[in-house]
Chain A
Amino acid sequence: MNLEQKVLQSQRVYNRMEIPMELGMMVAGAIRSVPGNITPLPVKTKKTRWRKAVAAVAAVLLCFTAGLNASEAFAEAVSKVPVLGDLSRVLTFREYRWKDNDKSMHIAVPQIQTEEGESSALVGDINAEIERIVEAYKEEAEQRIAEYKEAFIATGGTEEEFAQKNIKVNVDYSVKYESQDCLSLVLSADEDWSGAYGVQYYYNLDLKEGRKLTLSDLLGDDYVQTANAEIKRQMQERLAADPELVYFDGSNGMQGFTTVDENTNFYISQKGNPVVVFEKYAIAPGAFGVQEFEIQAQA
């Protein structure tokens, strides 16, 4: 191997360089610090997005939706008053908080209750799955933080400095929509020191029938076309309103939004509409956070 080839091969060291977590935030902040002379962003939008970016640092979302069989049946169900915040059938099964020298943890494990006459098989499976996911997340988070600490100390940091980071792990949930037969729940978990460990699970369930809801239940057989058209329209709208926003478009090797399919993540809004969710980095640079698109459900 001649010298030029050697130098060329050492490019892989360069490319494997560890990129610090704060880079994305810093770049977004630096860009925002110089106002553009074309359509300056309203202050409110700026704040919202900044907060969103911070919140997105490691958001894990789990979403459960209980719903119906056919879209007519769903339309009927959503016309009922949601019982949100009232007598929810989602209960906090376990909740714990603790703190040691390296971190503080808060973990809430939700479980869904079934009522008489409802099939409990699917709900049972999902409750068990939630427990498994939360448990695994907790263990992995502890391990990651221990490894981070080890590296931190090995590179000259002290125990005190590490403790000052005040790392927090949080697993929690919120009910997005709930009616007689239909439930939408988001479980979120995050580690505030790193954006790299987000995991997302979305479940859409029909409690009465004991099955998962799909986008086609909410949007009809043409859900792919309907959702794609609406998402593209909203992307254009957001791009027009915000000169700083960027969506990947296939240049620079970053494939952006192409299409929804049966595996696309979504939850249900209080209006009963599906909200399609794209995680950080899925269709836009990480600095722009999670991208959500609410789509009018089929009447």
Chain B
Amino acid sequence: MELREELVAFLTENQEKFYRLAFSYMHSKDGALDAIQNAIVRALQHYQDLRNEAYLKTWFYRILVNECCTYLRKSGRERLYEPEVLQWKQDRQQEQQDPEWESDLEVYERVIELPEEKRTVVLLRFYEGLSLQEISKVTNTSLSTVKYRLYAALKQLKRSLTEVSQ
């Protein structure tokens, strides 16, 4: 298969994953959609730079994560997108009584409030199931940096979750 076809297939098939990831940075539907759109256009314009198609996944995640983080860094205090309430929270609760749902949601909310570097490691490791090796490719950092950020992220999560429960 031609590289472009492969890329298009990858983008089409994994769009829901991209949305979940982008939303976890942008905290809004419109923001997430815009980030994905920009990332896709960028990827299609530059896929010739991708030497080895085995790295398609980490290469695109890097573009998407950069897109989101660039926005977060630029926007600083002024947000272009209104953050949205986590609506699936209510939907799910109506569906069935689930005593652990609330605490899982709490953890997710804390995760998406982490500073971007730590957040990236946690999102990719625990939610997207990437290996630490792959994460180091996405973030263009060394493996030991990834490990350190993961450690620091968990430490911060622990702190923020304990504060809440008290």
Contact = CB atoms under 8 A, between A and B. Distances in A.
A125 B40 CA distance: 51
B100 interface: yes
A246 B5 CA distance: 8
Main SS of chain A's interface residues? helix
B132 interface: no
Given A7-B154, A10-B105, A252 B5 contact: no
Nearest to B48: A37
A27 B40 contact: yes
Interface in B108-166: 108, 111, 122, 126-127, 154, 157-158, 161
Interface residues of B, number: 47
Contacts of A124: none
Contact of A243 (B2, B24, B86, B107): B2
B84 to A, nearest CB: 8
Interface size class on chain A is 35 or more
Nearest to B100: A9
A30 B13 contact: no
Contacts of B91: 18
B16 A285 contact: no
B104 A12 contact: yes
A15 B29 CA distance: 15
Given A27-B15, A30-B40, 15 more contacts: A3-B154, A4-B154, A7-B157, A9-B100, A13-B88, A14-B20, A14-B24, A14-B127, A20-B33, A27-B11, A27-B40, A36-B4, A151-B87, A243-B8, A285-B13
Q: 10 smallest A-B Cβ distances: which pairs?
A: A10-B107, A34-B44, A30-B40, A13-B108, A10-B104, A285-B12, A246-B9, A10-B108, A27-B15, A14-B127
